Structure 1
């Protein structure tokens, strides 16, 4: 019963909010219920000066109405401060990205007469504003690191995949193999599903193609039918991680110096991501066994080819992660890509593969946090993970546009199914606060910050939508003269905060465009240097109609692919915690050249 109740906390909060509205405004909720298509009634039309249940505003607000005013102000203030925090994080992320690129050793200008082929953007000042030299991503030198940061690490990279296209996996591995340290430091684990018929064949093909380009490459196959486990990314990662633990049991490497990285099948990581982890690992080596690394995600591969609502939805998804990546943030929740030392993975008992871990990135961070009694340290890696937007070719029932929208909604539902992690956190918090010994959790500012991030992820989107919808209907059906002055004031303030947030989000998109430009130009240079021109590039220009449309459409995308699937998932959790994992269709790229926008 406790497990069921805790997993339903987000859904229960939604029902409580609706109950609060019904108790606080019984007359208007009765009128609004007539709007339901199955009510069979037509609501009376409100006209100024006529009494329809509320001839004048009450002299005193009820307790429920006071709670409503306080909560709606709190939610809208949270949304506004989220935008401020996001703007600060994007501003600092731009500086961090430039600093990371400067740490590459400078080489002769790529625009050398000796170069037969000019890499794109070689003359772009992506590293420093005044220099005839740019950093060569292929020339990273161990001696170039700061003093005291010597030594080496092994990167065990888990690439979970289920029914993914062979070319998608091949391209991802080509990008990793292009890193100069791949052959000596990267161990690739193709985490596959045993029930996928073609999985062994795909694994054999990839292993044969990339043998010798990595320190090691192998395939693992998650068996079907294991108790409490479901098919999906989380269970594939969990099974591959068990293999890593077994193979490293007698390794000469210290388990702190083996860094496990989990990424999506279509994710492209720069070598800067791994070099930055190594730098931080040796800089803070005394805390290396409890470090957790996370990076922002950026959809820079095919965003110009998908519907604007899909592009906006992924933009907001990226913003959700970046908003907690500002300097001094108490804790960072990863999105899709993250790394941690083998020592920490062993300490917490590895990954979970059951239905509650469908959002395995957030779930693993939470597990590390609670299993170490809040002792985990999170680091932001300023090298973004390049990802694709969902793109569906369509089928016999609907074309590519509608099919892509439906596929994005299914992906959003899977993302929001991660609200189960709120229930996990509730159970772990109660158990940790009442526990004893090394796992006893202290109620500290960091724990409050974590709970606040969970509130923003699993409560705020649907609560804000319900409050916004109710406020719009209430003010539309009730004349201002019949509304209590305090309520009028509350509706005005919340409307002002929404307008402020809209303007703030447009500022954030401007900051994002600047950061995006640095990232994609750096990646384009890297790929050209490696001879990989088929990885996909979507350049942004603020004055394009595509980008201008985002500044207006993002609230719609946030509702359709954020609030609605959140409500869908949270109400579904009353009945089940299982969701059938469906692979999202991603594009393949065959472009022979990398071109800058004109």
Structure 2
């Protein structure tokens, strides 16, 4: 490993140490200079502070302006989140009103069944699936518009390959997720479900076969994959599981239809509305030029068991929702997904699938970065106006007093540490920046289907002369017709988009550096003002710290405003999900967490505690640990399950 790679992986920890050293140097030097400047005045027997020029000098100016920069960034984040959630809420309300005025038969009926994959078939076969041959219509779908639902013939052309990675998940959790997907009217014609099981889980195949037998007639296809536990250099986790499943399912789709296969990775407890896939289908068909270089994502919402977790855990998840939502506003070109996202199989081919090492533990952001750099920053991102329902992390402490609250808080901290462990992606991005600069003039790329090679690299560069000799002057995105290179696709991508690279740098800094940097500066800037109180401001920086105090106050008010705006966002989202579940007959026993401002007023009080406990502290812990290890033991969080399933279990007991 080169020195640059080592430093890049630990950039967050190195930045934390550098700021701590700078802060200590400035405060100690400035306070020492002030103490040395006290002189005895015989007229009034008083000692007056006179600043000595032997302080920290230019380092004080650097420290002060950096403090201002960090405060401006902290001020900007909740402001952007407020704007995004307001736009999202307005659009959802508008779409809901439109749907309430129409009798959309598509939303209340099931189309005829299609051939489903037999439960006895596995993904070891290289047999390819067939696809409808109908032509795409002339659909127009803006980034934030209520997209038009394609007719059945056009929609059936798009196949949604849905991967559900899981490890030691309860059967009720998986069954409930499949029930929700199966109730979608397009499930039988468009959904290929892949249960991504782990070999290291006992009887995982038995669990999968049981679910397949139960749901085999409800989807276009359903199957399972079994991820081996002994692949060299792999880190157990969601990324390695999804990558294995994607490589197996890749065998099932022929070259001619791969561009219309959309791969979606979801958590085992994620509940998606049918509109999620309907919107993606419409957007995919409406813009064929960028369809194969687009990633789709939606905001997440914790609306299942928020009423049964401590307020501090609830607010931590609401702010985590804000982190992802802050990129989903009109005009945003940088919108990393959170947990659930979709991308065309051809884009998965292009980047060589998911990375599986320990650096890729933050699988959603890491895959976004991999696609982003494979396209020189020209990745298209589209927001799906359909929030993903998820469960708050819990240790089952609800109603168990202080001990239960502590156990739930501890469980949420472990998840926060896992999130912050993803700071390794900053190191990955730094290395990709260098590679992109080195290859900035090389825009010809070739790639093969994901299953063709285990070591398929992202966007392999081949000189044009050699490429022409191999492929015979193929046009962009055109595979060779026959021969050994029949599955090779040649494409030409745009040059580096430096504007987006700058924006991405800002978002990565905001996610992986800002929590710790802000905490250090809040403490040290307060100490600096106390140490220099009453002294002459020869550096002319006192105005900076005065502004920083105002920015902190306004930033806190912005967070309160975000929580206030979240009330309507949550209300509309949970009402939409509850109506859809009632229409599907699945609402009985399912969890719906409705917010009440009077009951949830304590959430606003918890904000000052959430930032350090679930932001700065786990971020600092992760970055310190990175100095000696990049491996994190991946654990499965406890999920809330349908009460109906539990009651049925109880009735079945003798």
TM-score normalised to the size of structure 1? 0.85
User: What displacement does 1:489 show?
Assistant: 2.5
398 and 498 in structure 1: CA distance in 2 versus 1, 3 angstrom threshold: closer
For residues 196-215 of structure 1, the aligned pairs below 5 Å read 196-215=201-220
Instruction: Assess, with a 3 A threshold, how the Cα gap between structure 1 residues 397 and 314 changes in structure 2: closer, same or farther.
Output: closer
Offset from partner CA, 1:372-427 (integer Å, 9 cap, x none): 22232000111000000011125999932211111111111111111111001000
Tell me how far apart the structure 2 counterparts of residues 136 and 399 of structure 1 sit (CA, whole Å). Answer: 49
Q: Alignment partner of 1:576: what SS?
A: coil
Change (3 A) 1:479 1:526: same
Q: Is the 8 A contact 1:480 1:488 kept in 2?
A: no
Partner of 1:426: 430
Q: 2: CA distance between counterparts of 1:208 and 1:317?
A: 37
2:468 aligns with: none
* Corresponding residue for residue 168 of structure 1: 173
Residue 102 of structure 1 and its aligned partner are, at CA, apart by 5.4
CA distance in 2, matches of 1:360, 1:136: 34
Matched, 1:325 2:378: no
1:423 match: secondary structure: helix
Q: How does 1:129-278 map to 2 (within 5 A)?
A: 137-139=107-109, 145=149, 150-151=154-155, 152-248=157-253, 250=254, 254-278=257-281
Instruction: Give the whole-Å Cα distance in 2 for the aligned partners of 1:492 and 1:149.
Output: 63
Quote the offset at 1:586 in angstroms. 1.5
Distance, in Å, in 1 between the alignment partners of 2:195 and 2:5 is 33
1:531 aligns with 2:536: no
Query: CA 1:4/1:397 → structure 2, altered by over 3 Å: closer, same or farther?
Result: farther
Are residues 200 and 508 of structure 1, via their aligned partners in 2, closer, same or farther at CA, if it must alter by over 3 Å?
A: same
- Give 1:536 shift: 1.0
What secondary structure sits across from 1:159 in the alignment?
Answer: strand
Q: How does 1:358-507 map to 2 (within 5 A)?
A: 358-393=361-396, 399-435=403-439, 436-438=441-443, 442=496, 444-475=498-529, 477-478=530-531, 480-482=533-535, 484=537, 486-507=540-561
Cα distance between partner residues in 1 of 2:438 and 2:536: 46
TM-aligned CA deviation for residue 474 of structure 1 = 3.9
Give yes or no for the alignment of 1:62 onto 2:61.
Answer: no
Tell me if structure 1 keeps the 8 A contact 2:376–2:497.
no
The answer on 1:511 being equivalent to 2:515 is no
Q: Distance in 2 between matches of 1:193 and 1:398?
A: 36
How far does residue 571 in structure 1 lie from its aligned partner after superposition? 1.2
Shift of the alpha carbon at 1:585?
Answer: 1.1
- Partner-residue secondary structure (3-state), 1:588: coil
**Stretch moving more, 80-89 or 271-280:** 80-89
Query: Contact 1:190–1:219 (CA<8 Å) still a contact in 2?
Result: yes
Assess, with a 3 A threshold, how the Cα gap between structure 1 residues 524 and 566 changes in structure 2: closer, same or farther: same
How far apart in 1 are the matches of 2:151 and 2:175?
Answer: 37
How far is 1:198 from its partner?
3.0
Kept in 2: contact 1:259–1:340 (CA 8 A): yes
Encode CA deviations 1:323-354: one digit per residue, 9 max, x unaligned.
Answer: 11110012210000100000110011111111
Match of 1:285 in 2: 288
Q: Runs of 5+ in structure 1 lacking a partner?
A: 32-48, 109-133, 593-598
- Between stretches 441-450 and 267-276, larger displacement belongs to 441-450
TM-score by length of 2: 0.78
| Structure 1 residue ranges (4+ consecutive) displaced by more than 6 angstroms after TM superposition | 28-31, 140-144, 146-149, 395-398
In the other structure, the counterpart of 2:71 is 76
CA RMSD of aligned residues (A): 2.9
Q: Which of 343, 350, 353 pairs up with 1:347? A: 350
Deviation at 1:139, TM superposition (A): 4.8
Instruction: Kindly name which structure, 1 or 2, has the bigger radius of gyration based on alpha carbons.
Output: 2
Structure 1 residues 149 and 92: alpha-carbon distance in aligned structure 2, compared to 1, 3 A threshold: farther
Q: What count of residue pairs does the alignment treat as equivalent? A: 544
Once residues 99 and 360 of structure 2 are traced to their aligned partners in structure 1, the CA distance between those partners, rounded to angstroms, is 37
Per-residue deviation at 1:135? 8.8
Please state how far the C-alpha of 1:261 moved relative to its aligned partner. 0.4
After TM superposition, give the deviation of residue 518 of structure 1 in Å: 0.9
Contact 1:178/1:530, CA 8 A, preserved across alignment: yes
Within-5 A mapping of 1:97-108: 97-101=92-96, 104=99, 106=101
SS of residue paired to 2:290: helix
Q: Does structure 2 retain, via aligned residues, the 8 Å contact 1:429–1:441?
A: no
Instruction: Decide whether aligned partners of structure 1 residues 297 and 29 sit closer, same or farther in structure 2, where only a CA change above 3 A counts.
Output: farther
Helix, strand or coil at the partner of 2:638 = coil
Residues 456-484 of structure 1: per-residue CA shift (max 9 Å, x gap): 10011110011112223444x53621473
Q: Which residue of 2 aligns with 1:312?
A: 315
Aligned partner (choices 279, 301, 308) of residue 304 of structure 2: 301
SS of 1:25 mapped into structure 2 = helix
1:42 corresponds in structure 2 to none
Moved more, 369-378 or 319-328: 369-378
Aligned-partner SS, 1:399: helix
